Amino acid sequence: MKYDYLVVGCGLYGAVFACEAAKKGKKCLCIDKREHLGGNIYTQEELGIQVHKYGAHIFHTSDKEVWDYINGFAEFNHYINSPIAVYKDELYNLPFNMNTFSKLWGIRTPAEAKAQIEAQKREFVEALKGLQSQEAAEASIESGSHGAAESFIPSNLEEQAISLVGRDIYTKLVKGYTEKQWGRDCKELPAFIIKRLPVRFTYDNNYFTDPYQGIPKGGYTQIIEKMLENCQVLTGVEYRDFLQQNAGKDQPDTFCKTVYTGPIDEYYEYRLGALQYRSLRFEEEVLPQEDNFQGNAVVNYTEREVPYTRIIEHKHFEFLQNKGTVITREYPADWQPGMEPYYPINDEANNTLYEQYEALAKKEEDVIFGGRLGQYKYYDMDKVIRAALDTVRQELG
């Protein structure tokens, strides 16, 4: 059969592209290596609960067109992400806001909170500036040069974080969580990983500032199914295996173009080297006799000694009151080839390598690379949809 597009990957980017192409009369064959549709936003019903199988996915956007678009495939509820952080026996509201600061320091007003944070930042930065100036002076004496450090320059993530929010917030709510995510001590992580740490001086636990947010009633999988209802779909097949099987047919299927949403380095068979990622491991527990395990959808564990970063209780995404519950513990993991890549490590070395792969991709006339893996960048769901819609418009008008 002759197709206009072979879409590799039935996640959000591939599904949006195929859906819009089909609306314009294009014939698409969509394949996915997993046995299901939806990529990482896949949800599955258990105990009447839509379980987010690859981690919590909370839709939020400031893009009205994207919000209207996704609401054409499902009705969204009014869920607001208000996570809780657990540090030892202490509970804190996230994001960092007046509820957090009141619990930390026993204060009530924004002025008091600002004073606490600024005092801690100033104390830390002045101490480090003094140390850096001393080291620079000693180095200048040894080298015969003149001058010493006049300004504070963070040399690692710990210094960067404390200079932004002070020592208390860093110690209790940033340090352990970040070290678990990256598998390294914060002193060994580059400062650029944290460019800013939002601090809000209001009593507002809404994690996102976007005006549009929620969870689709009935889960995300139905959205992808509706998007692909006018496309041919094959699941449980790897891209290279598919090409080999197709080539062996008496009458192979043909494709004018390929939309590839898998890892770009894998597409080129790692000829320039492998890009690096962080991975995740999920430990799901079904609790048919437990109606309410933790009282909140998302609870972060910020001590490094606790091996998981968070526990998700899925029923709270849809305000369910039914019997039983399902929880998922989320563990960060070092990525190895063959594991599922989740978070690109966009440091200088990896970005340079990606640019080399991107240069190869730009020479491809019949391949479109898209999505988190195809473009080696972290995308929120709304940004994935926006990127796919923009690509379709560039491609098909």
How high is the pLDDT of residue 143? 41
Residue 21's contacts (CB-CB under 8 Å, 6 or more residues apart) are: 4, 5, 28, 392, 395, 396
Question: Does the pTM of the predicted model rise above 0.95?
Answer: no
Q: Let me know if domain 2-77+215-280+344-396 sits in CATH 3.90.1150.50.
A: no
Note down pLDDT in tens along the chain; length 397 residues.
Answer: 999 999 999 999 999 999 999 999 999 999 999 999 999 999 999 999 999 999 999 999 999 999 999 999 999 999 999 999 999 999 999 999 999 999 999 999 999 999 999 999 999 988 877 665 555 444 433 444 333 334 678 899 999 999 999 999 999 999 999 999 999 999 999 898 888 888 999 999 999 999 999 999 999 999 999 999 999 999 999 999 999 999 999 999 999 999 999 999 999 999 999 999 999 999 999 999 999 999 999 999 999 999 999 999 999 999 999 999 999 999 999 998 788 999 999 888 999 999 999 999 999 999 999 999 999 999 999 999 999 999 999 999 8
Residue 394 in contact with residue 259, Cβ under 8 Å? no
Query: What pLDDT is stored for residue 134 in this prediction?
Result: 53
CA distances from 326 to 40, 221, 294, 319 (A): 18, 18, 11, 13
Tokens representing 308 are 């998981």
Query: What's CA 188's distance to the chain center, in Å?
Result: 22
> What pLDDT was estimated at residue 125?
87
Place of tokens 């770009």: 264
| Residues catalogued as catalytic | 196, 200, 278, 310, 330, 378, 380
Domain residues of the chain, as ranges? 2-77+215-280+344-396, 101-193
Write down the H helix ranges in 277-347.
none
